[in-house]
Amino acid sequence: MALDAPTLNSLGFAKPPSETRVVVAMSGGVDSSVVAAQLAEEGYDVVGVTLQLYDHGAALAKKGACCAGLDIHDARRVAEDMGFPHYVLDYENIFKDAVIDEFADSYLAGATPVPCIRCNERVKFKDLLETAKDLEADCMATGHYIQRKMGEHGPELHSAEDANRDQSYFLFSTTPEQLDYLRFPLGHLPSKDATRELAARYGLQVADKPDSQDICFVPNGNYAQVIEKLRPGAAEPGDIVHADGRVLGTHNGVIHYTIGQRRGLGIGGLEEPLYVVKLDVDAKQVIVGPKDLLSTRTIPVREINWLGDTPLTSQTEWHVSVKVRSTRPPREAIIRPLSDTTAEVELLTPEEGVSPGQACVFYQTESSRILGGGWIWRG
């Protein structure tokens, strides 16, 4: 007689919720607060952990940032209301070393970095995940909008149900081992409104708290200001040069420009609209040219995290869809592996403004599955 398979709880473990410990990464926002409240209500042994990522004094003055003093207070209050323990860990130095310094350096090298990916990869899903294991948790849950589904070969990463909230672009570097341990309880929800409704149902005081918009350590989205503070002397003036070699004007620092920028170049009176097509940090030059120079078909990608069922190098070509910006829909492409971690990606339709420092994320075409991704490194 066949034995019945053990019943799994909602987190996928064959034991009662009360015997399943889950660490919830709590930023103080509505998403992670709902995750913690929901799991606590379901009877899990919840432990809330909030990371202090940078200086409170500087952070308290601004709205719309995550992990600042007010957010720690909000996370702690949710834990008190729902009756589970909550810890604040000081990760300021780790965050500076793993995220902020690289952000400044790659920005100065003319790239357009995405520090939120590095934060997930190097801080939240690395150090915090290890902390969760130290706390003898069975798994760690976050408020990210992404789905983890069980496939034939183990857990798979899938886009969120709500395409408008999907955070897969920022989580492509999640490894199979991390995916084994992580849970994303909000990924299947139809909308952010559904999350806020749950928050109201649990009586959370953060139910109407606005979403954080900016990168947490970049107030008001002013990158240049932050870079100048981190790397004094970075805003040195130089020439604005046309791609054909003509000097068209001067600028007050390469860090004030991004690839694809058209407005605010300070070079009027020209017949053709010009765009920033390249930043040459060593020569202190902002290179501008017509829009067609921004089109890219071939993208070199490195530091690839591959989530397919067979190794990346098991095929000479992979026909997939890729995203080269978080705000753009996936486009059809071919990945041609060069090694386990490097590849050349050919876009079937050229894209504009593909920029070194951004991520190139791979999706299974006609499917919600994420096959990994890598970093674009020379445009």
Q: Is 25 annotated as a binding residue?
A: yes
DSSP string, 202-245: TT-TTTTPPPP-S-TTSGGG-HHHHHHHHSTT----EEEEETTS
Tell whether 27 is in a known binding site. yes
Name the E strands within the chain: 21-25, 45-52, 86-90, 139-141, 146-151, 154-159, 182-183, 238-242, 247-251, 275-280, 285-289, 295-306, 318-323, 331-337, 343-352, 359-363, 370-376
The answer to whether the beta carbons of residues 301 and 357 sit under 8 Å apart is no
Say what angle helices 30-41 and 192-201 make with each other, to 10 degrees: 50
Known binding residue 32? Answer is yes
> Has 29 been labeled as part of a binding site?
yes
State yes or no: 280 annotated in a binding site: no
Closest CA to 262 of 251, 277, 248: 277
Distance from C-alpha of 129 to C-alpha of 177, rounded to nearest angstrom: 11
Query: Is 277 within any annotated ligand binding site?
Result: no
**Does residue 69 have a known ligand-binding role?**
no
User: Is 143 annotated to bind ligand?
Assistant: yes
Find the catalytic residue in 66, 67, 116, 216: 216
Whether 216 is catalytic: yes
Q: Is 26 annotated as a binding residue?
A: yes
User: How is 61-78 classified by DSSP, letter by letter?
Assistant: T-SS-SSSHHHHHHHHHH
Catalytic-role residue among 67, 119, 139, 360: 119
Residue numbers annotated as active site: 119, 216
Annotated binding site: 25-32, 51, 143
Which residues are known binding-site members for ATP?
A: 25-32, 51, 143
